[in-house]
A = this chain, B = another copy of it.
Amino acid sequence: MLAEIKGLNEECGVFGIWGHQDAPQITYYGLHSLQHRGQEGAGIVTTDGEKLTSMKGLGLINEVFSNGKLNDISGKAAIGHVRYATAGGGGYENVQPLLFKSSSGSFALAHNGNLVNASQVKYQLEAQGSIFQTTSDTEVLAHLIKRSGHLDMKEAVKSALSVIKGAYAFLIMTETEMMVALDPNGLRPLSIGVLGDAYVVASETCAFDVIGAKYERDVQPGELLIINDEGIHSERFSMNINRSMCSMEYIYFSRPDSNIDGINVHTARKNLGKRLAVESEVDADVVTGVPDSSISAAIGFAELTGIPYELGLIKNRYVGRTFIQPSQALREQGVKMKLSAVRGVVEGKRVVMVDDSIVRGTTSRRIVTMLREAGAKEVHVRISSPPISNPCFYGIDTSTHEELIASNHTVEEIRQIIGADSLAFLSVEGLLEGIGRPYEGEFKGQCLACFTGRYPTEIYQDTVLPHEKA
């Protein structure tokens, strides 16, 4: 039973716009550019000033809004959400934005992040007679808002935010205004821009480029924005700020054309590749990256070392959701689908294979084997991040301690397991300097918990790991 009442809100993407006649359509294109943040489900809620209208579904955004369904939805403002694919979890009712209607007014919620005290709060609310319809953290916030006792929506939201802990970027929309809130640690990226007279907000700045909007600034930790027809208003809902942007957003999660706190993600990755080359150079013939997220780091590694960068691994563009996986027998016969090693490039060569991270090690072992089968003479694995030895409670779906290969093995042991000729990880210092965030302090306002085990927030005893949910 316990599992069912726990929250479910992993890495996702949010987008909102206020004051544009094509708000739902703009939101569609904005969400589309955030599709890499979640492929399980998508939804849009709009307001025409008087009524909230919701449209959502399981699948990719272009599946959910196929066949002109978007034509049925209009409004001057909208918020939208794309949802991360979890193993068994989810279901239609968890697709966001969640819409809550009542006789005294309605509101919709879209959330990116993971609350660490959702179970505790939910338990208390249920004991008081609340009925939860989803297994999503987001609903906790809705009940807190409704039960706050404040008639004013802004006060109700601030009261609710004071209760929850963890990582969150929230978009809240009523018939007449949109609110934007980022947790006091600023664990998730969230930026504001303008499109003509309209305000837009998005998990990543790539959404602004796609819709032709102008980036204004990143939302600040602990900041609450209220946007309506009057304009935009900002206030702090927490004084206890501890800036801790998730490192993984730079390392592999965000799109290379996004900027986070003014730093381009591709450039950050390329710099990580350069630092990695400095820290652990190797004598080799070709550098190749594991597509797509490690390409930038591989380019940086090649550029610094002068070893030619090549397409040694090709990703198959057509491996969609309906793709039929080879049976075990066929896999043993050598059928492989998602990645191909390019024999013409690696045969007889000493190959540096750059990847962004190692979680369980199984994928790395498979790629090393693939490169050797394609004729690589040596395979040197270089990882553009430190070893991940601690679970994430803030929405990144890594793993438990047991499953994280780096929590139980030395680098040399991992090298043997994945079958590489050499293996090196980037250092934490290399990571911080490679990214080069413009903040003071030991960690430059960055969350390193998965590498160091030092969590920026309190962690509750029964906090649920993302992959355990649903």
Contacts and interface: CB of A to CB of B under 8 A. Distances in A.
Interface of A: 1-2, 4-5, 22, 25-26, 28-29, 32-33, 35-36, 39, 51, 60-63, 65-68, 70, 92-93, 100-106, 122-123, 126-127, 129-133, 135, 142-143, 146-147, 195-196, 206, 209-212, 255-257, 259, 263-267, 270, 292, 295-296, 299, 303, 308-311, 314, 316-320, 322-324, 326-327, 329-330, 333-337, 340-345, 374
B1 A344 contact: no
Contacts of A68: 324
Nearest to A300: B308
Contact of A265 (B212, B263, B344): B344
Contact of A318 (B62, B126, B133, B324): B62
B210 A60 contact: no
A106 B209 CA distance: 46
Nearest to A67: B322
A359 B224 CA distance: 51
6 contacts: A66-B324, A67-B322, A92-B92, A129-B143, A130-B131, A210-B337
Contact of A210 (B4, B264, B335): B335
A130 to B, nearest CB: 7
Nearest to A342: B257
B129 A327 contact: no
Given A210-B335, A330-B29, A334-B212, A257 B340 contact: yes
B28 A324 contact: yes
Contacts of A60: 318, 320
B323 A62 contact: yes
B104 A126 contact: yes
A355 to B, nearest CB: 17
Contacts of A195: 333
A340 B207 CA distance: 10
A42 B129 CA distance: 28
Contact of A322 (B4, B63, B147, B210): B63
Contacts of A36: 317-318
A60 to B, nearest CB: 6
A100 B130 CA distance: 10
B211 A334 contact: yes
Contacts of A2: 103
Nearest to A126: B102
B330 A26 contact: yes
B132 A130 contact: no
B25 A326 contact: yes
Contacts of A267: 344-345
Given A131-B142, A257-B342, 20 more contacts: A2-B103, A22-B333, A26-B330, A29-B337, A60-B320, A67-B322, A93-B93, A101-B135, A103-B122, A104-B127, A129-B130, A130-B130, A209-B340, A210-B340, A211-B335, A257-B343, A303-B308, A303-B309, A317-B317, A320-B320
